[in-house]
Amino acid sequence: MGKFEVLDHPLIQHKLTLIRDKNCSTKEFREIVNEISTLMAYEVSRDMPLQDVEVETPMGKTIKKQISGKKVAIVPILRAGLGMVDGMAELLPVARIGHIGMYRDEETLKPTEYFVKLPSDISERQIFVVDPMLATGGSAIMAVDALKKRGARDIKFCCLVAAPEGVEALRETHPDIDIYTAALDEKLNDDGYIVPGLGDAGDRLFGTK
């Protein structure tokens, strides 16, 4: 079974509280999501493989650690996932960026795939799928389906707020992937929104309604 971790670093918790506030402006919301994503990248890359390399300091040669060759991809689920890309890429600058387009049918709440563009060597990469909200789990499950169908094997899912229902659904369908979230909230409401949550992450990031 993959990991499930709530990233409870005080800076992450503090910043998440700021963006939950309904009075947080679009500008602040976007900036803080960026910052949280950078902090999350630090946490979720803890188990990246290292290798020994020789380095020559001014005092002489020594063998020290460096991140080994495994390549990385950040894959946002459109559109809200885009808000987490730059912050993550700040710490993972060589990452390639894939995109998976899903929209949620407002009536059935079912996710529908409309766009998938990934690096051609996706099967060799460590993949960080990013989407701020893990609500029903529908889009996350479909995004992981889409990745696995194209050969992806090493997948971590990163979100800001998760609902228990979404975590359970994602873990049941894809038990092999790791899930990281900044918060595990109470529940979903009848409209499929996370409570207390932070509202519609896409609308708050992009100033739409």
> Annotated binding residues for uracil, as ranges?
194, 199-201
Catalytic, 104? Answer: yes
- Nearest to residue 207, comparing CAs of 6, 33, 16? 33
- Is residue 137 involved in binding ligand URA (CB under 6 A)? no
Running DSSP on this structure, what letter comes out for residue 191? T
- Is residue 147 involved in binding ligand URA (CB under 6 A)? no
Q: Which two tokens stand for residue 147?
A: 């990745």
SS3 for 189? coil
- Is residue 201 involved in binding ligand URA (CB under 6 A)? yes
Q: Which is nearer to ligand URA, 92 or 183 (CB)?
A: 183
**DSSP strands (E only) in 90-173:** 96-97, 99-104, 111-117, 125-130, 133-134, 154-162
54 to 83, contacts with ligand URA by CB under 6 A?
Answer: 80
- Is residue 193 involved in binding ligand URA (CB under 6 A)? yes
Taking CB under 6 A as the criterion, the residue among 16, 135, 182, 205 binding ligand URA is 135
Annotated active-site residue in 86, 145, 178, 200: 200
Taking CB under 6 A as the criterion, the residue among 72, 129, 179, 194 binding ligand URA is 194
Q: Give residue 85's Cα distance to chain centre.
A: 8
* CA distances, 14 to each of 4, 17, 193, 199 (Å): 21, 5, 22, 18
Q: List contacts with ligand URA (CB under 6 A).
A: 80, 133, 135, 192-194, 197, 200-202
Catalytic residue positions?
104, 108, 200, 203
